[in-house]
Amino acid sequence: MYLSDIYSIKDCVEIGNNIWGALRKGDIQRIVDFFNVALSELPYDGLEDQINEYFFRALFLMLLRCVGVIAYAEVHTFKGRSDIVIQLETQIVVIEFKFAPTSAEVDSKRKEGATQILSRNYAKPYGGGSRKVSAFVVVADGQLRQAVL
């Protein structure tokens, strides 16, 4: 409702249902695709100076929470903070966000994020339970103004 009323994002209920379906299947690419659909409908007015990692991460988290997903930002571990942790009944998803000001920097940011996840053991605190644990890097492409895996 928030996305629909405040930002006039069409079909936000359908987007929410699709996000839940993708989460149940572990299909993070589809979640990023739906995030980009929602993102594409935001008005650009006043956003030019605010496009950065925090902007994309906050909107991604807001979208997840608005559709009822249990997700947390800046989750502290013994070696750092993971950007987003999604908790589902059968799995935990750790997401590291990176911002690439240009499309040419996306690959290096993706590698940087993957290295960070591994070196700081962001997924390790969740490995002792029965839930499947996975970790992903989502890169916000500032030039295209969309997120990519």
Long-range Cβ pairs for the range 99-102 (8 Å, 24+): 99/52, 99/53, 99/56, 99/139, 99/140, 99/142, 100/139, 100/140, 100/141, 100/142, 100/143, 101/142, 101/143, 102/141, 102/142, 102/143
Q: What is the pLDDT along the chain (149 residues), one digit of tens a residue?
A: 445 554 455 566 677 788 888 888 888 899 899 888 878 877 766 666 777 888 889 888 988 888 888 999 999 988 989 999 999 888 999 999 999 999 999 999 999 999 999 999 999 998 888 889 999 999 999 889 899 98
In this prediction the pTM is 0.85
Domain borders along the chain are 2-148
Domain 2-148 has CATH 3.30.70: no
